[in-house]
Structure 1
Amino acid sequence: MKNWNRHNAIAEFVRKRRNENKMTQLELSDLTGVGLRFVRDLEQGKPNLMTDKVNQVLLFFGHTLTPTTISDETRRNLGA
């Protein structure tokens, strides 16, 4: 496996919500209409996933991707 950030906010959110709902990754995949591999990659923090599919999963939990303001310090750390 590649060195993905398993602790990114989206990966942790989806993993936590899925576990709170006592669902397997396969069940989440079936209920959201995305592939099992996509769910696994999402929960493991793969950095380059399709945003429409990420939103499919997030919408299941009542959330969506949105632009968020970041601090100047965070921006500097990103190299922007």
Structure 2
Amino acid sequence: MAEFVKQRRRLLQLSQPDLAAKAGVGLRFVRELEQGKATLRLDKVNAVLQLFGHEVGPVPVSRSPEPE
């Protein structure tokens, strides 16, 4: 996710402060998101992703077949 946000931000030629302002989150949050911080508030992550037409949601986990 960190790389996705960073690439999209750069594609739109936004600085980190610009992205933070447009998403309504703090600059520190954007920096932590782009650095891949493991614990982030989901509502804030979605606020950023919505600028790119995306959101976080449940995704099925691929599981290896259990041995018999």
Amino acid at match of 1:62: G
1:53 to 44, 50, 53: 44
Amino acid at match of 1:48: T
Amino acid at match of 1:50: R
Instruction: Give the structure-2-normalised TM-score.
Output: 0.90
* Distance in 1, Cα, partners of 2:49 & 2:21: 14
Higher helix share: 1
Gaps of 5+ in 2: none
Gaps of 5+ in 1: 1-9, 74-80
Amino acid at match of 2:18: E
Misfit runs of 4+, over 6 Å: none
Which string of whole-angstrom CA distances, capped at 9 and with x for unpartnered residues, describes residues 10-55 of structure 1? 1011001000011110000011110000000000000000000000
What's 1:4 paired with?
none
- Show the 5 A alignment for 1:1-80: 10-73=1-64
* Higher radius of gyration, 1 or 2: 2
* Distance in 2, Cα, partners of 1:67 & 1:26: 29
Alpha-carbon offset, residue 70 of structure 1: 1.7
Instruction: Give the structure-1-normalised TM-score.
Output: 0.77
**Identical residues among aligned pairs (%):** 52
Q: SS at 2:28's partner residue?
A: helix
C-alpha RMSD of matched pairs (Å)? 0.7
Alpha-carbon offset, residue 71 of structure 1: 1.1
